[in-house]
Amino acid sequence: MREEASHEKQNNGSRYIISSDLWYIFNTLNRSWRPFTKDDEYLASEISAYLSAFAKKGNPNSSSLPAWNPYKPNEKYIQVFDVSNRMEDE
């Protein structure tokens, strides 16, 4: 029988944690009980940088991030947050 990880015990046995995206959005992985990898840290840094730029300028783009193009009816691209951020066709 598999032993439950600590985050599963604290989350009533569920492997999915509601609102776990907030740790990435606010780049606060270090405040979580869950184990994270360097990829998680990179992803949290990228997500929070986009959102910070958007809050400051109304535009998520900055010179240090890959371009995030606006979604248009004839150009249906979405921003994919992964260990390599990129735009993909919908």
From first to last of its 90 residues, the chain has per-residue pLDDT tens of 444 444 444 555 556 677 888 999 999 999 988 888 899 999 999 999 999 999 999 999 998 888 888 888 898 888 888 777 666 676
Instruction: Tell me the two tokens of residue 54.
Output: 């958007």
Of 82, 78, 18, give the one whose Cα is nearest residue 7: 18
Please list the helix, strand and coil fractions of the chain in percent, rounded to the nearest 5, in that order.
35, 10, 50
- Long-range pairs, 32-38, Cβ under 8 A, ≥24: 33/6, 33/7, 34/7
Q: Which amino acid is at 53?
A: A
